[in-house]
């Protein structure tokens, strides 16, 4: 049963929502995620009409103004409204997170389900390859790959996929190994299904939902790493407002105007926590042991 089918069956949906509502932390997580997604969608669909000020407009006469009712998050070193820039920066991070996690889940499921199902030499080779990836600190490998590929947001995405998929491959493999012991796999084999059919029709559908839950938890962490990469000068190029880049550009004003670097950093923190709480709650909600 996939995550989507669970969410779209009415009774299941009701149970899921009830469990989500039972825990106040998951309510907070869901609200944060909802606000972030709406913010990102609005910024993409409506552009800078959704923001109170033009996020790119430079006005040195109102530079480094502290947070107030006119400028909720203050203004930066070029007089741009930080609140507007935070909103305009949202879709980039959401897109990076969705693409990286999506691609990692696809790659992880493809490689991991085959490795887990067939076992043997292919499995052995896959495990050794993922071992190599795990020997690197994730940030450093992502930095090196994205630097090698050159500047630009797409190279950051590619670099993050490179470091992210091995964990999914390992998880998918472990799940596939558990699933393949079930009797219905044996039944499918007895009724003449080919190995490929079994993997596609029986293994993959049964391992996809734990991986998607895991992916939800990870969305926030992808945003975190993407922001570190752009903080260090890789990824979003000016004047494109990206949250990590905003922290980097603003940090020399830490002493005189703390809001310029700190507020985008806090926004990243809140979004990561939101996805984390939401993912936790989703995991609990989909866990049969919690459904009482």
Partner 1 sequence: MGLVKYVGRRLLLLVPTLFGVLLMVFVVSRVLIPNPARAWAGPRADEETVRKIGERYHLYDPVHIQFWYYVTDLLRGDWGHSPSSGQPVLKMIKTFFPATVELAMAAMAISILIGVFLGVISAANQNKPIDHGSRIFALFGVASPPFLIALLIQLIFFYHLQLFPESGGRISHTVLPPKYITGLFLVDSLVTGNWTAFWNSLNHLIMPAIALALLYFGIASRLTRASMLEAMRMDYVRMARAKGLPRRTVIYKHALRNALIPTTSVMTVMFAYMLGGSVVTETIFSWPGVGRYAATSILNLEYPAVMGVTLIFALSVILVNLLADILYVFLDPRITLR
Chain positions contacting partner 1, by CB under 8 A? 128-129, 131-133, 135-141, 143-145, 147-150, 220-221, 224, 227-228, 231-234, 244, 247-248, 251, 254-255, 258, 261-262, 265-266, 268-269, 272-273, 276-277
Q: How far is the CB of 257 from partner 1 (least distance, A)?
A: 11
**185 vs 272 by CB, closer to partner 1:** 272
**185 vs 228 by CB, closer to partner 1:** 228
**32 vs 179 by CB, closer to partner 1:** 32
Q: How far is the CB of 192 from partner 1 (least distance, A)?
A: 39
Residue 196, judged by CB atoms within 10 A of its CB (0-12, 13-18, 19+), counts as exposed
The answer to whether the CB of 144 falls within 8 A of the CB of 201 is: no
Beta bridge partners of 75: 81
Q: How far is the CB of 28 from partner 1 (least distance, A)?
A: 10
Question: Phi, psi (5° rounding) for residue 152?
Answer: 125, 150
User: What is 44-113 written as a DSSP string?
Assistant: HHHGGGSSSS-TT---GGGTTPPP-SSSTT-B-TTS-BHHHHHHHHHHHHHHHHHHHHHHHHHHHHHHHH
User: What is 2-39 written as a DSSP string?
Assistant: -HHHHHHSHHHHHHHHHHHHHSHHHHHHHHHHHHHHHH
Q: How far is the CB of 87 from partner 1 (least distance, A)?
A: 19
**193 vs 251 by CB, closer to partner 1:** 251
Q: How far is the CB of 146 from partner 1 (least distance, A)?
A: 9
**124 vs 186 by CB, closer to partner 1:** 124
Residue 280, judged by CB atoms within 10 A of its CB (0-12, 13-18, 19+), counts as middle
**166 vs 179 by CB, closer to partner 1:** 166
Q: How far is the CB of 131 from partner 1 (least distance, A)?
A: 6
Give the HSE-up count for residue 37: Cα atoms under 13 Å, Cβ half-sphere.
13
């Amino acid at each position: 049963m996939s995550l989507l089918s669970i969410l779209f069956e009415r009774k299941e949906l009701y149970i899921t929502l009830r469990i989500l509502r039972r825990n106040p932390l998951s309510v907070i997580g869901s609200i944060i995620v909802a606000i972030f997604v709406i913010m990102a969608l609005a910024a993409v669909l409506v552009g800078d009409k959704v923001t109170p000020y033009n996020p790119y407009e430079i006005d040195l006469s109102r530079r480094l103004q502290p947070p107030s009712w006119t400028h909720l998050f203050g203004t930066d070193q070029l007089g741009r409204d930080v609140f507007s820039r935070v909103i305009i920066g949202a879709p980039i991070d959401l897109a990076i997170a969705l693409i990286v996690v999506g691609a990692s889940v696809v790659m992880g499921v493809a490689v991991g389900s085959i490795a887990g199902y067939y076992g043997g030499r292919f499995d052995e080779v896959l495990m050794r390859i993922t071992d190599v990836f795990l020997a690197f600190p994730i940030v450093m490998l992502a930095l090196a790959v994205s630097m090698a590929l050159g500047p630009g947001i797409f190279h950051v995405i590619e670099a993050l996929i490179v470091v992210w998929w091995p964990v999914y491959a390992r998880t998918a493999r472990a799940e596939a190994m558990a699933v393949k012991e079930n009797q219905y796999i044996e039944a499918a084999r007895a009724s003449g299904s080919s190995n490929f059919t079994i993997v596609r029709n029986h293994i993959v559908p049964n391992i996809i939902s734990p991986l998607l839950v895991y992916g939800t938890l990870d969305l926030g962490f992808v945003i975190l790493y993407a922001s570190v990469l752009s903080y260090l000068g890789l990824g979003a190029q000016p004047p494109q407002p990206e949250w990590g880049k905003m922290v980097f550009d603003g940090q020399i004003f830490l002493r005189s105007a703390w809001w310029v670097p700190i507020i985008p950093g806090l926004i990243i923190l809140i979004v990561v926590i939101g996805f984390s709480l939401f993912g936790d709650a989703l995991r609990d909600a989909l866990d049969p042991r919690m459904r009482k």
